[in-house]
Amino acid sequence: MSHTDPPVVPGTHVIRVRGLRKSFGDNQVLNGIDFEVRRGGVVALIGPSGSGKTTVLRSLNGLAVPDDGTVTFSNGLEIDFSSPVSKRDLLALRDRSAMVFQHYNLFPHKTVLQNIIEGPVQVQKRRVAEATAEAESLLQRVGLADKRDAYPFELSGGQQQRVGIVRALALRPDVLLFDEPTSALDPELVGDVLTVIKELGDEGWTMVIVTHELAFARQVADEVVFMDGGVVVERGAPGDILVNPREERTKQFLHRVLHPFD
Amino acid sequence: MESQWDLAWRSLGPIIGGAIGGTIPLALTSFVLGLIIALAVALARLSRVPVLSGAARVYVSVIRGTPLLVQLFVIFYGLPSLGVTIEPWPSAIIAFALNVGGYAAEVIRAAILSVPQGQWEAGHTIGMSRVLTLRRIILPQAARVSVPPLSNTFISLVKDTSLASLILVTELFREAQQIATFSNEFMLLYVEAAVVYWVICLVLSSGQNVIEKRLDRYVAH
């Protein structure tokens, strides 16, 4: 798809994150985070709750504003959080990425279609007919073409989350951000959503995924970043990090997750 | 000698005339203006600018902490001594609009706060500014929550417009009062006025139901 083509500035990284720091009061949640996301890459952020992984993700979308550090996009946009971020920069930052939320956060007063075309039409000023056609084909792809005119309350959690993904896709972002996309779902609905995300990865979408689903991370990610206590403890290929981690903290985390009853 | 029924029947014309020519337009105009004030005050109270939220807080406190009748008298009988003379109708509209503004501001503020934070974030992630998110995402959802309490405010206002009779506005109650004085049939005329107010409020309540049904179409039942 044309919109996933690299923007003007060459470079293999879509996002480069340097030195992100943030504290809420006395609580230092991010303590100098560095990582980058390759074009077409899928990065899984894993770690215990409170490790700061969701805050990192939210920082990429300007939903959390770090106290320090930079986020640089391959199109040249650089946000430096060491000084107050202007509204323009915040909107520019959000323009590059789109978030899929744990609790979907669909607009309850709008139909599925209206949810999807809201951003393209109201923000990106695309024509309603064009945005609608694209929304319909995206809905078709996630198997929800017949839900076009339904309201969110009429959908199951898994269906709502697939609409959430389509809403993000419709914005044609450089990067898709997923914040624990299956944590709020009933177990039997998780599979549908994970399948959709995996297909997007295979199609070449650049994605950052905060997840507890380690098996899924192993399948879909090409890099796993393990965070704990506001720092990146280690990162690497899923086969290394999730199977043969070097760091003791990673080993402990994996052991707790994989063998909860030991 | 004319019977009580005749008098009741003959006075119905002027009383309903007072409702149509006075009470209803007075209530509608003040309510619409009051809602505009209320939205502005609610947003000011939610603002992060201390001067704005402080001013809004004081406004709400003054309006809610003083009797409507006193507010009305200050505007109509008080201001002339400062050289500001306002006719009865505009005085009444100003007083009622300011009053609605104070009460409805709290309703609207609470309704805005009742919309989950995730809705703001969803608006932001699709690229919307705060203002656009407020207008397209938050306010429509807040509207649904605020219809029942705002209907209360409106119904109270309709009845409160009877106070305007005290600053010489010709409306429902003043018509009834005048006929009562001439005919000496106070009980009859005041009960008749009460019934007409009640009927107006019944109509308004059913209007409220229609609006609530319409806004509830996207909510699970």
Q: Encoding tokens for residue A251?
A: 């080993």
CA distances (Å), origin B145, targets A109, A175, A195, B119, B181: 12, 35, 37, 15, 44
HEC profile of B66-115? CCHHHHHHHHHHHHHHHCCCCCHHHHHHHHHHHHHHHHHHHHHHHHHHHC
Q: Are A14 and A38 in contact (CB under 8 A)?
A: yes
Closest CA to A100 of A232, A3, A22, A193: A193
Q: Is the Cβ pair B128, A124 closer than 8 Å? A: no
Q: Is the Cβ pair B127, A101 closer than 8 Å? A: no
For residue A34, the SS3 value is strand
- What's the domain range around B34? 4-218
* DSSP H/E element including A140: helix A128-141
Cα distance between residue B168 and residue B84, in whole Å: 17
Q: Is the Cβ pair B125, A108 closer than 8 Å? A: no
Query: What pLDDT is attached to residue B221?
Result: 56
Q: Are B176 and B192 in contact (CB under 8 A)?
A: yes
Cα distance between residue B149 and residue B211, in whole Å: 13
Q: Is the Cβ pair A153, B219 closer than 8 Å? A: yes
How far B3 CA lies from chain A's nearest CA (Å)?
A: 57
pLDDT in tens, A103-147: 999 999 999 999 999 999 999 999 999 999 999 999 999 999 999
Q: Is the Cβ pair A151, B218 closer than 8 Å? A: yes
* CB contact burial A50-65 (16+ within 10 A = b; e otherwise): ebbbbbbbbbbbbbbe
* CB contact burial A180-189 (16+ within 10 A = b; e otherwise): bbbeebeeeb
What residues of A are in contact with residue B127 (Cβ under 8 Å)? 91, 94-95, 119, 123-124, 171
Q: Per-residue DSSP letters for B23-43?
A: IHHHHHHHHHHHHHHHHHHHH
Q: Is the Cβ pair A61, B140 closer than 8 Å? A: no
Chain B residues in contact with chain A using a Cβ-Cβ cutoff of 8 Å: 116, 118-119, 121-122, 124-129, 132, 136-137, 140-141, 144, 217-220
Cα distance between residue A102 and residue B121, in whole Å: 12
Q: How many residues does chain A have?
A: 262
ipTM of the complex, rounded to two decimals: 0.90
How far B219 CA lies from chain A's nearest CA (Å)?
A: 6
Closest CB to B140: pick one of A63, A109, A124.
Answer: A109
Query: What pLDDT is attached to residue B2?
Result: 66
How far A184 CA lies from chain B's nearest CA (Å)?
A: 14
Residue B165: what residue type? S
Q: Is the Cβ pair A63, B128 closer than 8 Å? A: no
CATH of the domain at B120: 1.10.3720.10
| B71, pLDDT greater than 60 | yes
Tally the C-alpha atoms within 13 A of residue B175's C-alpha that lie toward its C-beta.
24
Q: Is the Cβ pair A119, B127 closer than 8 Å? A: yes
Q: Are A144 and A170 in contact (CB under 8 A)?
A: no
Query: What pLDDT is attached to residue A262?
Result: 78
Q: Count of domains in chain B?
A: 1
| B206, pLDDT greater than 50 | yes
Query: What pLDDT is attached to residue B220?
Result: 65
What residues of A are in contact with residue B136 (Cβ under 8 Å)? 118, 122
Query: What pLDDT is attached to residue B163?
Result: 96
Closest CA to A241 of A262, A260, A261, A257: A257
For residue A213, the SS3 value is coil
Cα distance between residue A110 and residue B184, in whole Å: 59
Q: Per-block average pLDDT, block size 10, for chain A (262 residues)?
A: 40 87 91 93 93 94 94 90 91 93 96 97 97 97 96 95 97 95 89 92 94 90 94 94 93 90 82
pLDDT in tens, B86-133: 999 999 999 999 999 999 999 999 999 999 999 999 999 999 999 999
Query: What pLDDT is attached to residue A6?
Result: 35
Size of interface A-B (CB pairs under 8 A): 64
Query: What pLDDT is attached to residue A9?
Result: 41
**Pairwise pLDDT comparison (B174 vs A76), residue with the higher score:** B174
- Phi, psi (rounded to 5 degrees) for B156: -60, -40
